[in-house]
Structure 1
């Protein structure tokens, strides 16, 4: 028997229940995994609220790290006793648990230098950051980018990685406290989006040119300003919707505003190929192990306190990464 957070209906944080569940033996292609730490991600709130529909009842959470306790028939990529991490979406749903059965395919072996707690705090955020700065656009040293939510989990990793690549980072934040955090991780210029016109400030900072790329995880409330912050033939990367889905718009605007590019990527498509995923993970792990990228775990919760954790996350009270300690 084990414990898990499950939902029987969609809605606010209060729909999550702490339950006792049974975990059996792994079947073909599966492993039984004992969690040591579980990641808290904004995507978890989408499954809970129903924005991402799933059959009910169901578990929550798509990211965790732990130790393989048993392997099923045909599993060759991991063995009993291996320390592993994983992230994904529907195929890994159910991470809010002390132990579970999970397909072996999404599991990534951890190097000795990376703890399970660090892995749970960075696998989704780190791989997201990896594809944003290493795969999605041919960024060159000297380029300037705009990064929304610069003090968030992805934001802090992107800031640090961007500096390794020689980029100039303009970051948006909501408070002086978050501005200090962003600056400490390599953000060159800070815009307070609640009291400043983001696009106007970007033009001021870039002498009217605009930025090469906008990394926008906010969505609805920032989309228009993000588009207006781009230089000619720049790229708008809408990779999240924390403020809600982007409203429909006429693609002709992209031409009128400078022959812009727009993409709405998903992490799943950048880690679907295990070989590509392992290359991205290896680069991430190397930077973290060497101290070139620091993973800030600024909130730790007990798994049974998931309701409070979701409330904090949705209220914008968190910075960096948050984890559940199992």
Structure 2
């Protein structure tokens, strides 16, 4: 039976004003889908890339790629889920900015009873991102030295906690004294206020000129070139975002000149495409949450209807930690 849902759609790329909030009729779930009522919806920078057209979607489109909800209906052929069950998800067709939605069952993850819905919504996309960054892109081990840009952000906060547990030394960059305190509270060993000091020079000072084993860079244009200069020989730069703009074209011969460096540009879609890998990563994350290894230290919530303001605050770097919409 079709139901009504309140949801955001957009028909052109641009600023937050392109997002239109309206009531729509939601069809029954198709074969292989489940229908859910959202309890909490995570906001991520990929949503902004989708809205701007940096990572374009076919238009018109919904927005949002993660959430926590309760199953309200099952499509034909769906097994392993039940009406009334709580699930979390990352990926699938954008459309999380809604009170209700249909979702491919292959993207749904059963939630342990002990986990709080709001905390999972704050952590699941970012936590699965951290999992593939530090466990699979570059498997961080005890004794490694890591440079993590935007260390007080949603991904950075989780990463600092998890890296501390792994025994790494973490150097984090932040934009303000307030964010520096957040990074330290999450386990960051050295914090660089990049608005007041050159992070490349400070990294050289902290490491005694040796450089770091790996740089995780979600900032992009403003940091990429100097991030390469922070690496030890044969170090790895993981470029996983572009909040300051796209990275300029790279002359790969520079990688040899700067120490036989490695660069990768991963996507969570490719690291969670295989259902078994997706479930394994989720088990690792949910276990880390239950064990207290990672936590949502700061959650900023907005009503679903104020998604435009959430985007504006995130783009202006006025938020710390995770941003969650509440239906």
Short-chain TM bin: over 0.9
Matches for 1:20-169 after TM superposition, within 5 Å: 20-88=23-91, 91-169=92-170
Q: Alpha-carbon deviation of 1:80?
A: 1.4
Q: CA separation in 2, counterparts of 1:211 and 1:272?
A: 30
- The secondary structure found in structure 2 opposite 1:259 is coil
Quick one: structure 1 residues 138 and 61, their matched pair in 2 at CA, closer, same or farther if it must change by over 3 Å? Answer: closer
Tell me which residue corresponds to 1:251.
252
Tell me which residue corresponds to 2:196.
195
> What's the CA shift string for 1:124-176, capped at 9, x where partnerless?
10000011111112322111000000000110111011011100000000000
Question: Unmatched 5+ residue regions in structure 2?
Answer: none
Q: CA separation in 2, counterparts of 1:123 and 1:166?
A: 23
Q: Work out whether residues 297 and 323 of structure 1, in 8 Å CA contact, stay in contact via their aligned partners in 2.
A: no
Q: Work out whether residues 236 and 261 of structure 1, in 8 Å CA contact, stay in contact via their aligned partners in 2.
A: yes
- The secondary structure found in structure 2 opposite 1:11 is coil
Tell me which residue corresponds to 1:10.
13
- The secondary structure found in structure 2 opposite 1:182 is helix
Q: CA separation in 1, counterparts of 2:254 and 2:30?
A: 51
Q: Alpha-carbon deviation of 1:33?
A: 0.7
Tell me which residue corresponds to 1:261.
262
Q: Work out whether residues 77 and 105 of structure 1, in 8 Å CA contact, stay in contact via their aligned partners in 2.
A: no
Q: Alpha-carbon deviation of 1:92?
A: 2.9
Tell me which residue corresponds to 1:294.
295
> What's the CA shift string for 1:200-256, capped at 9, x where partnerless?
110100000000000001111100110000001000000111111100121010000
Q: CA separation in 1, counterparts of 2:86 and 2:299?
A: 23
TM-score (norm 2): 0.97
- The secondary structure found in structure 1 opposite 2:137 is coil
Q: CA separation in 2, counterparts of 1:131 and 1:241?
A: 18
Q: Alpha-carbon deviation of 1:101?
A: 1.1
Q: Alpha-carbon deviation of 1:259?
A: 0.5
Q: Alpha-carbon deviation of 1:117?
A: 1.3
Question: Unmatched 5+ residue regions in structure 1?
Answer: none
Tell me which residue corresponds to 2:175.
174
Q: CA separation in 1, counterparts of 2:253 and 2:210?
A: 21
Moved more, 27-36 or 136-145: 136-145
> What's the CA shift string for 1:27-47, capped at 9, x where partnerless?
110111110100011111111
Q: Give the superposed CA RMSD.
A: 0.9
Q: CA separation in 2, counterparts of 1:57 and 1:12?
A: 15
Q: Work out whether residues 218 and 242 of structure 1, in 8 Å CA contact, stay in contact via their aligned partners in 2.
A: yes
> What's the CA shift string for 1:66-122, capped at 9, x where partnerless?
00101011111322111001112xx33000000011111101111011122112111
Q: CA separation in 2, counterparts of 1:92 and 1:265?
A: 19
Matches for 1:172-251 after TM superposition, within 5 Å: 172-251=173-252
TM-score (norm 1): 0.97
Q: CA separation in 1, counterparts of 2:225 and 2:157?
A: 23
Q: CA separation in 2, counterparts of 1:189 and 1:297?
A: 20
- The secondary structure found in structure 2 opposite 1:58 is coil
Q: CA separation in 2, counterparts of 1:289 and 1:230?
A: 34
Q: CA separation in 2, counterparts of 1:8 and 1:239?
A: 27
Q: Work out whether residues 298 and 321 of structure 2, in 8 Å CA contact, stay in contact via their aligned partners in 1.
A: yes
